[in-house]
Structure 1
Amino acid sequence: MVKLDVVDFAILKLLQENGKKPYTEIAKQIEVSEGTIRTRINRMLQDGVFEFIIHIDPNAIGLNVQAIIGITTKLGQQEAVARHLNQYPEVRFVAAFSGRHDLILQAYFSSNEDLVHFVNKELAKLDGIVSADVSIELKQYKDTFSYMAQTES
Structure 2
Amino acid sequence: MDELDLKIIGILQSDGRASNAKIARAVGVSEGTVRRRLRRLIKEDIVHVVAVPNLEKMGYGTTALIGLETGPGKSDAVAECIADLDEAHYVVVATGPYDVFVWTALESAESLGDFLRTRIGVIEGVQKTQTFVTLSTKKRFTRV
TM-score using structure 1 length: 0.86
Aligned mate of 1:106, from 88, 103, 108: 103
Q: Which residue is 1:62 aligned to?
A: 59
**Aligned residues: CA RMSD:** 1.4
Report the 3-state secondary structure (helix = DSSP H, G, I; strand = E; otherwise coil) of the residue aligned with 2:112: helix
Q: Which residue is 1:32 aligned to?
A: 29
Alpha-carbon distance between aligned partners in 2 of 1:127 and 1:5, rounded to the nearest angstrom: 44
Rg larger for: 1
Query: Displaced runs of 4+ in structure 1, greater than 3 A?
Result: none
Matched, 1:88 2:67: no
1:5 Cα deviation from its structure 2 partner: 2.1
* Residue pair 2:60, 2:108 contacting (<8 A) in 1 also: yes
Alpha-carbon distance between aligned partners in 2 of 1:29 and 1:78, rounded to the nearest angstrom: 44
* Residue pair 2:16, 2:51 contacting (<8 A) in 1 also: no
1:95 Cα deviation from its structure 2 partner: 0.9
Alpha-carbon distance between aligned partners in 1 of 2:114 and 2:94, rounded to the nearest angstrom: 25
Aligned residues: 144
Residues 124 and 29 of structure 1: CA distance in aligned 2, closer, same or farther (over 3 Å): closer
Q: Which residue is 1:151 aligned to?
A: none
Aligned mate of 2:134, from 132, 137, 148: 137
Q: State which drifts further: 69-78 or 134-143.
A: 134-143
Q: Which amino acid aligns with 1:36?
A: T
1:82 Cα deviation from its structure 2 partner: 1.0
CA deviation profile, 1:32-71 (whole Å, cap 9, x unmatched):
2211111111111111121110111111111110111111
1:131 Cα deviation from its structure 2 partner: 0.7
Task: List alignment gaps of at least 5 residues for structure 2.
Answer: none
Report the 3-state secondary structure (helix = DSSP H, G, I; strand = E; otherwise coil) of the residue aligned with 2:128: strand
Task: List alignment gaps of at least 5 residues for structure 1.
Answer: 149-153
Q: Which amino acid aligns with 1:26?
A: I
Aligned mate of 2:11, from 11, 14, 18: 14
1:8 Cα deviation from its structure 2 partner: 1.9
TM-score using structure 2 length: 0.91
CA deviation profile, 1:72-103 (whole Å, cap 9, x unmatched):
11112111111111111111111111111111
